[in-house]
Amino acid sequence: MSEETIVIPSEGSSMSRHDYELLFDKIPADLKDIDWKQEGSSFLDRDITIAANGVSKSVQLYMTDQRTLYGGTAGKGIASRAEIPAKSIIGLYCGRLIDFQPDDPTYCTRVGTTKFAMDASSLMGKLGVHTVNDNSAYHNVSALLCHVCVEDAVLPVIVYEASVDIRPFEFLSVAYEDDYWADPFACRPLVVADFETLLTDKEITKEGKLTLALQFFDKVSTKK
DSSP for 66-99, please give it: EEBTTS-EEEEEEEESS-B-TT-EEEE--SEEES
What pLDDT is attached to residue 180? 46
Map out the domains of the chain with their CATH numbers: 5-191 (2.170.270.10)
Judged on CB neighbours under 10 Å (0-12, 13-18, 19+), 156 is buried
CA-to-CA distance for 92 and 50, rounded, in angstroms? 8
CA-to-CA distance for 131 and 134, rounded, in angstroms? 9
Judged on CB neighbours under 10 Å (0-12, 13-18, 19+), 215 is exposed
What pLDDT is attached to residue 185? 45
What pLDDT is attached to residue 28? 58
What pLDDT is attached to residue 88? 94
CA-to-CA distance for 182 and 150, rounded, in angstroms? 27
What pLDDT is attached to residue 45? 85
Return all residues near 204 (Cβ < 8 A) that are at least 6 apart.
168, 169, 198, 210, 213
What pLDDT is attached to residue 27? 62
| 28, amino acid identity | P
pTM of the predicted structure, to 2 decimals:
0.81
Return all residues near 199 (Cβ < 8 A) that are at least 6 apart.
210
Measure the N-to-C terminal CA separation of the chain; round to a whole number of Å. 38
What pLDDT is attached to residue 84? 95
CA-to-CA distance for 75 and 94, rounded, in angstroms? 20
What residue ranges of the chain have pLDDT lower than 70? 1-3, 26-41, 101, 112-114, 136, 176-188, 207-209, 212-214, 216-224
